[in-house]
A and B are shown apart, each in its own frame.
Chain A
Amino acid sequence: MIDHGKIEKNLGLMLVLVMFAISIGGLIEIVPLFFIKGTIEEARTPEGIRMVRPYSALELRGRDIYIREGCYLCHSQMIRPFRDESMRYGHYSLAAESQYDHPFQWGSKRTGPDLARVGKKYSNEWQVQHLMAPRSMVPESVMPNYPWLMSPLDISDVGDRMAALRITGVPYSVSKVEFDNNVKEFGADVAKQLHIPDAQKNLIEQAKTGNYDGNAADVTEMDAVVAYLQVLGTMVDYSKFDNDSFVKFR
């Protein structure tokens, strides 16, 4: 039996033991998820290509602006497996769909609607108009205006941003070997988008061909945010699966 007087009089020992005690819950609830098969669902095409891919350079900048503007404070990106949510937002979110999100954008508060499947639900024009002046599209909205998104996008550090995520395990490629592996996993078109040395070139090309902000000449923050919003929840093609295909992972 340990004499608790010893613990109470030894601050360093108490600190270590308190940390151990409060981490028990986390250890038991979270650590096994890293080992349980199926925590992250497999979603592949019949050809074996992964459906969920990391964000392209432009989408990634859009995600960073989404975080910068604090969108997650009012919008979740997590459709829970409830009937009301699946009726309103679509198929429940898979863990696989946020596997390349660091940090994930699940959120814990819905002042606005969930955005996990907002991609392709509205036109680019709608997204631009709504971000500039939400009440012009939804009169009862309390969302702030974001007119400054029409300013030019700083693309100088996009490669660094991808490199930082690469450290956390997102398969952006630097070497030829990594690139070839991405071709196998994601297909050639996606692999090109994930190659860090080409990040700026790819970003500009996607912004100009996608023309997300209605102005093909300039690359604005609006291009990035709308490109990001338009890809949310669209990577997994659920028409290729039965409606209960992802039950078995739980």
Chain B
Amino acid sequence: MSQGNTQSHNAKTTGHVWDGDLEECTNPLPNWWLWAFYFTIIFSITYWVMYPAWPVGKGFTTGTTTITYKNDKGVEKTTHWNTRALLMKDLQDAREKQKPYFDKVAATPYEQIAKDPQLNNFVASAGKVLFSDNCAACHMSGGQGKFAFAPNLVDDDWIYGGTYDKIQATITGGRHGIMPAKGGADLNDGEIESLANYVLSLSGNTMDAAKVQAGNDLFHGKGACFSCHGADGKGNQDIGAANLTDKIWLWTDVKAGGPADKNVAAVKATITSGLNKGVMPNWSDRLSADQIKLLTVYVHDVLGGGSKK
């Protein structure tokens, strides 16, 4: 093996020879490499002086670099460089850049915002980000909602009301849909069947006339359904009681023109078990009043389902 090595060299060696002819060279480092190495040493010492670096007892050397920022109370503070103070500064700078827009949104009545092209652009872009991060998980990215989960926000049908004020109240405080099982009344299976027939007849389905009549009596009498859904079955947005006279169903799988027995079974199931879902979280802890106003206008005008009254 070693016999095959015919290479020769002129470099200095350490004098350490292994296996007869395997030598260890001591070539000097290239100058560019050496100076780059010296530079990294100078850089690190500069860094130690300027930024937090060495632990000392219960503290650490804080460095000479400082950051000055204003907190949310408007108090100006100067502190040694650290990532948390840097974030305060970043947030403050960003707030100042967006301030003219947010101030204008806060000062402008809801109805006027969408009419101002500049503000409308701001709401459309900033609102879309807020909506995607916070609302789309349930209401889907286009606000189209999800059956048996979260209502459609782009149509004209509203459970808790579609005016600016109502939308703002919904986002701020959250919602929780509650319908007691059997409406809280003592109903037997036959009575629930009649009620289901009556409820389906309200939205234009042709149902068994005798059962509809019996259901009508129960709805306005023993069942006391009217106390929430109204005597005309049009619901009550103050308490989130659904309008039963339209063809929009969020929780109950009723298909317009579908087989009557399946529709009746679906409505019966809802009446029997009631509803204790439709929980929308409270967003006031997570979003600022400015952000909620933006989102309100986004839902009302950009998604476009908002109602005037």
Contact = CB atoms under 8 A, between A and B. Distances in A.
Interface of A: 28, 32, 35-37, 80-83, 86, 88, 90, 92, 120-126, 129-130, 136-138, 214, 239, 242-244, 246-250
11 contacts: A32-B55, A36-B55, A86-B91, A88-B133, A92-B87, A121-B281, A122-B137, A123-B281, A243-B72, A243-B88, A246-B84
Contact of A250 (B72, B83, B94, B149): B83
A242 B58 CA distance: 25
Interface string B233-270: 00000000000000000000000000000000000000
Q: Is the interface of A mostly helix, strand, loop or mixed?
A: loop
Nearest to A89: B133
B66 interface: no
Contacts of A86: 87, 91
Contact of B69 (A82, A129, A244): A244
Contacts of B60: 32, 36
Interface residues of B, number: 35
Nearest to A140: B141
B84 A250 contact: yes
Which of the listed residues B60, B84, B277, B279 has the most CB atoms from chain A within 10 Å of its own CB?
B84
Nearest to A238: B285
Contact of A137 (B55, B137, B281): B137
A120 B281 contact: yes
Nearest to A237: B285
B74 to A, nearest CB: 10
A244 B71 contact: yes
B73 A242 contact: yes
Given A90-B286, A250-B83, A83 B149 contact: no
Nearest to A37: B58
A244 B280 CA distance: 30
Contact of A244 (B58, B88, B90, B279): B88
B79 interface: yes
Per CB-CB distance, the 5 closest pairs between chain A and chain B, nearest first, are A32-B55, A123-B279, A244-B71, A250-B82, A81-B87
B85 interface: yes
B308 interface: no
A82 B88 CA distance: 9
A247 B286 CA distance: 20
